[in-house]
Amino acid sequence: MEYLIYARKFRPQTFEEIVGQETITTTLKNAIRQERVPQSFLFSGPRGVGKTSTARILAKALNCKEGPTEKPCGKCISCKEIEQGNSMDVLEVDGASNRGIEEIRTLRENVKFKPSAGRYKIYIIDEVHSLTGDAFNALLKTLEEPPAHVKFIFATTESHKVPLTILSRCQRLQFKRISVLEAVGKLEEIARKEKLKCEKNALFMIAKATEGALRDAESLLDQLASFSEGKIKEEDVLTLLGLAPEEMYVSVLAAIREKKGDEIFGLVKKLYEEGADLAQFAKGLFEVFRHLLVLKTASKAEVLIEASAEMIVKLRKLTVDFQQGELLLALSILQNLQIQLRRPVASPKLLLEAALLKLVYMDGLKSVEDLIQYASSGQKSASAIPAVEKKTQKSVEAAREAGTPSYNATKATALPKVVAQAEVSLRSHAVGASSEEGLTLNDVERVWPQVIELVKAKRMSLSLYLAEAEPAEVEGSVIVLGLPSEFRFHKETLEKELNKQVIEEAFAQALNKKVRVQCVVTEREGTIQDMGGDRTPTKDEDVPDIVSKALEIFDGSKVIRKD
């Protein structure tokens, strides 16, 4: 007999077997019982959560010999043909490969014919969002007034791409992600039927790694059944997915708390040599610090954390070693690490080591509130301000006496903005928090993903260039976008008049105010230099010592210099 993968072998055949979609199954069963089944459905939701399986079960319920019934028998010819996928009355169409207007015209012609054996002719169109605009338009009339013997079931992972004219003609059912506990229960059932021996934590890690996609979890279990010898262990899952064990995260937290930088290097080296995915490790560490923050702030934290019971106990003991501000700063550092790993300027190993060392020494940083309080009170106690801050004051006074135009006293005082809630951002403080018109850099960063999508809708190629930039500065109604030096060609493309107009219109739509856009090239040494040939200042010229010191400590921070 031909081998069937677990995802097909254990595909649900009744509404009761569908995992984690109780609201939807209840709605469909009640509609069948009350004879209120609409002409068309739209099943939307993430991949691997049961949309197509539910569509097939609904088709069986409508065409079953005993039906329409909420409990199809599974024994009649109609039910068996639908299960096997060869029913003449239930037609499954792949929207991605049948997306043109000609295919939809053929469908419109075929809906006129009555079903050959069943009660209804049912069309299941998967990935319906892939249809072209003309194909959707051709489908409208048929969808609005289909023959009484026809039912449409659309499935999609991107419902926002389906036109509103289609959405308004369908009964929409939103599928949710499968929780870890529900997925573990299903995996245990499969393991029991297949007589597989599995460690409890191994199944938990499988369910967690697939992020709510039950089909992916079943496929991974199938793969591990072939990979392991006799018993699926936690080590097998870690090896197959390139993940780090929980003990590694606990060791890193201990090294951070005890300020053991040498241990950090040793742990990263071990991960690297064992072939672990460093990006996955960084993602897992980000999640661990999130768990610590939840445990420290939420009353019922266990409900909000997807981790093993043993890991939760270990993390709860470690919460006393971290303040909330430190945890927020750690999350900011690790968030930036994720960005750096996606577009690395150095090896992932070096980037991870640098980020972890920042975490080791983060409790020595002073919050901006303390610096402001000190400046306003005028204290001169040596113990009240660290040596680096005294050096800052001298740099400010020297710059003022020399008449240096690059930094005024207010900006220079603000340069060592080290907050307990966010990573050092010399760039944002150098340009100021807000513009004269009330537009801030935070406002621009908040709508930045939306701006890219708006540009993408108008000009796909332009959005690819724009995605390599990032908001760097706001002055009045001018938004400055920074690009790394290796993307100088992107800058020339973005600055073309027609392209700049598209970008400015996207910003205007997102911010609800008219703005202008300027592009600059960022330099790794810590400056942003325009393409016009402006000279980059050296450390010995007119950059204060505190700036150079900060750039040495926080590699990758940026200073925007305005002459």
pLDDT for residue 54 is more than 90: yes
Q: Which residue has the higher pLDDT, 146 or 413?
A: 146
DSSP secondary structure letters along 437-474: TS-BHHHHHHHHHHHHHHHHHH-HHHHHHHTT-EEEEE
Q: In percent, how much of the chain has pLDDT > 70?
A: 79
In the chain, domain spans? 6-174, 180-241, 246-363, 365-563
pTM: 0.62
**Averaged pLDDT, 136-141:** 88
pLDDT at 219: 92
Q: Please count the CA atoms within 13 angstroms of the CA of 118 that sit on its side-chain side.
A: 27
Give pLDDT, residue 392.
44
What integer pLDDT is reported at residue 28 of this predicted model? 94
Pick from 302-316, 437-451, 543-557: least confident: 543-557
Q: Which of 83, 85, 70 is CA-nearest to residue 24? A: 70
pLDDT-based confidence at 544, cuts 50/70/90? low
Of residues 430 and 37, more confidently modeled: 37
Token digits of residue 170? 């369908």
Sign of CA dihedral 276, 279, 280, 281: positive
* Secondary structure letter of residue 113 according to DSSP: S
Helix axes 234-241, 200-209, angle to 10 degrees: 30
Sheet holding 516-522, edge to edge: 470-475, 478-484, 516-522, 528-529
Closest C-alpha to 19, from 253, 210, 294, 163: 210
Whole-number average pLDDT of the chain: 80
Annotation: CATH topology of 246-363: Zinc Finger, Delta Prime; domain 3 (1.20.272)
Residue 366: predicted pLDDT: 63
Q: Is the pLDDT of residue 278 over 70?
A: yes
Is 67 strand, coil or helix? coil
Residue 288 has pLDDT above 50, yes or no: yes
Helices (H), 175-260: 180-194, 200-209, 214-227, 234-241, 246-257
Exposed/middle/buried for 34, CB within 10 Å: 0-12, 13-18, 19+? exposed
pLDDT number for residue 363: 67
Residues 266, 260: contact at Cβ < 8 Å? no
Please work out, in degrees rounded to the nearest 5, the angle formed at the alpha carbon of residue 524 by the alpha carbons of 518 and 525: 110
What pLDDT sits at residue 430?
40
405 pLDDT more than 80: no
Which of 171-185, 227-241, 342-356, 406-420 shows the lowest per-residue confidence on average (mean pLDDT)?
Answer: 406-420
Query: What's the pLDDT tens digit per position in 338-394?
Result: 888 887 778 888 999 999 998 888 766 666 666 677 676 654 444 444 444 444 444
Query: Could you give the CA distance from residue 341 to residue 458 in angstroms, rounded to a whole number?
Result: 29
- Residue 59 banded pLDDT, cuts 50, 70, 90: very high
Range in 74-78, 215-219, 224-228, 526-530 with the lowest mean pLDDT: 526-530
Question: In the predicted model, is pLDDT for residue 172 greater than 90?
Answer: yes
Most confident range (mean pLDDT) of 31-45, 298-312, 380-394, 543-557 is 31-45
For the cut 50, the answer to whether the pLDDT of residue 414 exceeds it is no
- 142's tokens: 């048929």
CATH number of 365-563: 3.30.300.180
- Report the run of H or E that residue 243 belongs to, with start and end: none
Contact (Cβ atoms closer than 8 angstroms) between residue 39 and residue 149: no
Question: What is the topology classification, in CATH, of domain 180-241?
Answer: Helicase, Ruva Protein; domain 3 (1.10.8)
Query: Domain 6-174 belongs to what topology?
Result: Rossmann fold (3.40.50)
Structure confidence by residue, pLDDT tens digits, 506-524: 888 888 888 889 888 876 4
